[in-house]
Amino acid sequence: QAAIVEVRERMRAMPDADRLAFTPISSLHMTLLQGIIEYRRRLPYWPSDVPLDTGVDDMTRLYLERLQGFEGHGPFKVKIVEVVPTGLTVAGAA
């Protein structure tokens, strides 16, 4: 987190940084599992084996079934490959 906050502060010090919107530090996060997003009911954002009109409650049950017994393997090994005003791009196994 300290490295991201440092880069954020350096970006805020750049010329014209006042034209950018910065997320509060308390809001910094990394999404590891996108899940389902209602407005992205299309491939590749929706599981190819699930009808596009499946209800959110049914999708929640399906995800819980598919994640049954899942054990994460940490720590995550990712590398930041790009920093842009809208976020970070990472590469590696998550």
Q: Position 44: which residue type?
A: P
Q: Position 88: which residue type?
A: L
Positions in the chain short of pLDDT 50: none
pLDDT at 54: 92
Distances (CA, A) of 69 to 15, 20, 63, 76: 50, 42, 12, 19
pLDDT at 50: 92
pTM for the whole thing?
0.47
pLDDT at 93: 60
For residues 63 and 67, give the distance between their C-alpha atoms in angstroms, rounded to a whole number. Answer: 6
pLDDT at 16: 93
pLDDT at 78: 78
